[in-house]
Amino acid sequence: MRVLILGGDGYLGWPTSMNFAANGHEVLTVDNYMRRHIAMDTDSMPLFDNPLLDQRAAIFKKETGHDINVRIGDLADFRFVESVFSEFKPDCIIHYAEQPSAPYSMRGFEEAKKTFDNNLGATFNIIWGMLNHCPDAHMVKLGTMGEYGTPNIDIEEGYLEVEHKGRKDKFLFPRQAGSLYHTTKVLDTDLLYFYCRVYGLRVTDLMQGPVYGVVTDEATDNPELWPNFHYDDQFGTLINRFLVQAVAGVPLTVYGKGGQTRGYLDVRDTLQCVMLAANNPAGKGELKIYNQFVEQFSVNQIADKVVKAGKELGLDVAVNPIPNPRKEMEEHYYNAQHSGLLELGLKPHYLTDEEMINLLKTVISGKDRIVERRIMPRVVWNKK
Amino acid sequence: MRVLILGGDGYLGWPTSMNFAANGHEVLTVDNYMRRHIAMDTDSMPLFDNPLLDQRAAIFKKETGHDINVRIGDLADFRFVESVFSEFKPDCIIHYAEQPSAPYSMRGFEEAKKTFDNNLGATFNIIWGMLNHCPDAHMVKLGTMGEYGTPNIDIEEGYLEVEHKGRKDKFLFPRQAGSLYHTTKVLDTDLLYFYCRVYGLRVTDLMQGPVYGVVTDEATDNPELWPNFHYDDQFGTLINRFLVQAVAGVPLTVYGKGGQTRGYLDVRDTLQCVMLAANNPAGKGELKIYNQFVEQFSVNQIADKVVKAGKELGLDVAVNPIPNPRKEMEEHYYNAQHSGLLELGLKPHYLTDEEMINLLKTVISGKDRIVERRIMPRVVWNKK
């Protein structure tokens, strides 16, 4: 397949690029380095150094013989999108090209506007790149479980059958996100749903939970090929942040009561899921939706796991609940379906004690690089 | 009240401006004339001439003694929004400032992008104008019944209580629009819902059906104070288009089977509804939603009414079903609740035979100005 990976410099975009190339696909990976710029501007650099895309592609080529083609540019600029799509004519588009930090999107007007314009602008332009140059191609879009919020009913996979006053219909599962970042993904879903129904686009929208981990099959030993691993309050996902706090000797920053429950997955399972989605494309006019996670945990359960694994490695990990900087329910019902990707063949990696110890060991290898001032939350939801 | 009317040059924005001014409110009305530009570019000028806003405000002042203040500028430009909100500090914002044509939004990429950028950009900026300068003000936003599409269950007023696997929750009523224009309003609703829940904004979102009519209480005799009255395929709403076709001797252009059912209302009832919404503001953090229409009709029912009223006036009105340029169901279930505004005190104008005859008489007064080439549909949904 000709696979166009948008947002290919990201935590998931880069390992996805390696994974598709290693599996024999023709890969073009695109990024505008927005996340790198924001990370530099906000003192949120990742734990390990990540060479720029051209360098990483060259290292990967040397190690494996596989090509990853690179283009740098802004997908919110339609001229760039036209140039990429008219030249590459992809069969499959993996769309990660969004400002990915919820806290950043909540800092203030400028950050909100950048997130809104980039995420919606990129999605809109990518849709039209497809309509103009490859209307039968398949888009695999990264959404988020956060689109659903924390409803008081079971979360189904994307859609909900409703019986109301004796009549029935099937709708998109209701969405009610808790940050502007997550809300841009709700709007993406609505927009893609329209372009599927009315213009016959093929899209698979993956509602993904928080991802953890560093090492993937294509980059076990060479940290230069690892994805960016953030532990700051903006780009760091929960488990990754806790791992670094444990290693740094900083008490784990549980927000509020810690009953917040989400569905988590290993970065290696993201790669499997995206590959499965790409190999099982949506039909013409279809918006397929999968819930992409492996296990549900509350924040407190994860903190306990980190404490336990730390003990095995001689780390004395403390837990320190702090006032919640976010506006979210800290105790709530949560039960999300996630059978679709398992049925396609996903072989999950579970967050076992052994796996947690391996993760801690990886972080310990970068212990000297931890900058403690990046750890505590710096953005409060709705300071206004 | 200090009332800021955004999109004040429009079919509804202008009579709303007069209505609030006549009721003793301090009115600032804002527009960028986007609709006038598009109408000129696409040969879609309205039936009667409409002076520019400053001239109309001067005529209105002379006739009634009431002031309507005017500012011309682009709400998708945040500097302009900052300047308007910081100077005027409204108590109530009536937000009509959107590209209002569904067919225009479906012409192609440029038109889609203009609609998307304007409608979402304006809504985003207006939200932040409120957060920065009047966080306790109330926004009355014009949505559309088209956000809901034509579901197979009863359409409730904005929200739906769902019982699922023995548990319950209440969500935004599912939305599935049939044009990009209508989809931008779905996205607006999602965005406003987020900013209400997380930033405590007060918003009333009015899901309005197609409006008909010309004359309002503030402008009975002077056509210079009438709102723009479009009869073209882009900006003309169904009943207004049929009225002009009947007067021009062009067979009524029923799209397809004509079973498409919607909820309609008189332009005078739009003014009542918006005033009722403004006088009954949403609470802090509340997104109030009303379904704003008076009567449900199918296209065929409206065609029959026009034929009947035409006969009374000696017009021999023919009906000519044509291939549907839109992608929509032509026969479907439709039953939408609309009790909220009635409970607030709406006194509806119904589409009686007498009313239809009055409407035809108004159009007959402009008969010589009808340009027939504007009548037939020029935009086909998804030509791709």
Closest partner residue to A199 (CB to CB) among B78, B175, B382 is B382
pLDDT of residue A384: 58
Given B16, B29, B123, B144, which residue is catalytic?
Answer: B144
Catalytic residue check, B231:
no
Could you say which DSSP state residue A227 is in? P
Percent of chain A with pLDDT over 90: 98
Q: Which amino acid is at A292?
A: Q
Q: Do β-strands B69-72 and B26-31 pair in parallel, antiparallel, or remain unpaired?
A: parallel
Residue-wise pLDDT for A57-81, tens only, equals 999 999 999 999 999 999 999 999 9
Q: Which amino acid is at B132?
A: N
Mean pLDDT of B121-143: 98
The CA distance from B293 to B262, in Å, is 9
Strands of A138-144's sheet, edge to edge? A69-72, A26-31, A2-6, A92-95, A138-144, A202-208, A287-292
Q: What is the pTM of this model?
A: 0.97
The total number of residues shown for chain B amounts to 384
3-state secondary structure B207-262: EECCEECCCECCECCCHHHCCCCCCCCCCCCHHHHHHHHHHHCCCECCECCCCCEE
3-state secondary structure A302-363: HHHHHHHHHHHCCCCCCECCECCCCCCCCCCCCCECCCHHHHHCCCCCCCCHHHHHHHHHHH
pLDDT of residue A219: 87
Given B114, B141, B185, B305, which residue is catalytic?
Answer: B185
Catalytic residue check, B144:
yes
Q: Which residue has the tokens 């953005």?
A: A379
pLDDT of residue B382: 76
Quick check: B27 and B17 in contact, CB under 8 A?
yes
Given B96, B104, B148, B181, which residue is catalytic?
Answer: B181
Mean pLDDT of A325-335: 96
The CA distance from A360 to B103, in Å, is 57
Mean pLDDT of A365-382: 93
Residue-wise pLDDT for B212-231, tens only, equals 999 999 988 899 999 999 99
Please report the DSSP string for B328-340 in residue order: S-SS----B---H
Homologous superfamily of B2-374 in CATH?
NAD(P)-binding Rossmann-like Domain (3.40.50.720)
CB contact (8 A) between residue B176 and residue A174? no
Mean pLDDT of A107-122: 98
Which structure tokens are listed for A100?
């990915």
Q: Which of A250, A251, A289, A269 is nearest to A355 (CA)?
A: A269
Nearest C-alpha of chain A: how many angstroms from B77? 12
Percent of chain A with pLDDT over 70: 99
Q: Which of A82, A95, A97, A92 is nearest to A136 (CA)?
A: A92
pLDDT band at residue B384, thresholds of 50, 70 and 90?
Answer: low
Residue-wise pLDDT for A280-310, tens only, equals 999 999 999 999 999 999 999 999 999 999 9
C-alpha to C-alpha distances, B168 to A173, A361, B264, B287, nearest whole angstrom: 14, 44, 33, 20
The total number of residues shown for chain A amounts to 384
Nearest C-alpha of chain A: how many angstroms from B289? 16
pLDDT band at residue A253, thresholds of 50, 70 and 90?
Answer: very high
Q: Do β-strands A167-172 and A92-95 pair in parallel, antiparallel, or remain unpaired?
A: unpaired
The CA distance from A362 to A214, in Å, is 8
Which structure tokens are listed for A25?
């696909």
CB-count burial class (<10 Å; 0-12, 13-18, 19+) for A165: exposed
Which structure tokens are listed for A373?
């001032």
Mean pLDDT of A346-362: 98
Which structure tokens are listed for A121?
């602008």
For chain B, the average pLDDT equals: 97
Question: Who's near A38: CB < 8 A, 6+ residues apart?
Answer: A44, A99, A101, A104, A234
Mean pLDDT of B132-150: 98
Question: Who's near B51: CB < 8 A, 6+ residues apart?
Answer: B59, B224
- Quote the strand ranges of A15-166, DSSP E: 26-31, 69-72, 92-95, 138-144, 159-164
Closest partner residue to B171 (CB to CB) among A174, A186, A327 is A174
pLDDT of residue A216: 94
CB contact (8 A) between residue A193 and residue B180? no
Determine the longest span between alpha carbons in chain B, in angstroms: 64
Quick check: B294 and B265 in contact, CB under 8 A?
yes
pLDDT of residue A349: 98
The CA distance from A104 to A108, in Å, is 8
The CA distance from B135 to B88, in Å, is 13
Q: Which of A31, A343, A346, A338 is nearest to A207 (CA)?
A: A338
ipTM, two decimals: 0.97
Residue B27, Cα to own-chain centre: how many angstroms?
20
pLDDT of residue A62: 96
For chain A, the average pLDDT equals: 97
The CA distance from B51 to B223, in Å, is 10
Residue-wise pLDDT for A189-216, tens only, equals 999 999 999 999 999 999 999 999 999 9
Nearest C-alpha of chain B: how many angstroms from A107? 12
Closest partner residue to A152 (CB to CB) among B167, B180, B197 is B167
pLDDT of residue B10: 98
**Residue A126, H or E segment:** helix A109-133
**Domain spans, chain A:** 2-374
Catalytic residue check, B61:
no
pLDDT band at residue A173, thresholds of 50, 70 and 90?
Answer: very high
Torsion angles phi and psi, residue A346, rounded to 5:
-55, 130
Residues in chain A closer than 8 A to B176 (CB atoms) = 171-172, 193-194, 197
Nearest C-alpha of chain B: how many angstroms from A279? 26
Closest partner residue to A165 (CB to CB) among B153, B172, B183 is B153
As beta bridge partners, residue A314 has none
Residue positions of A annotated with a catalytic role: 144, 181, 185
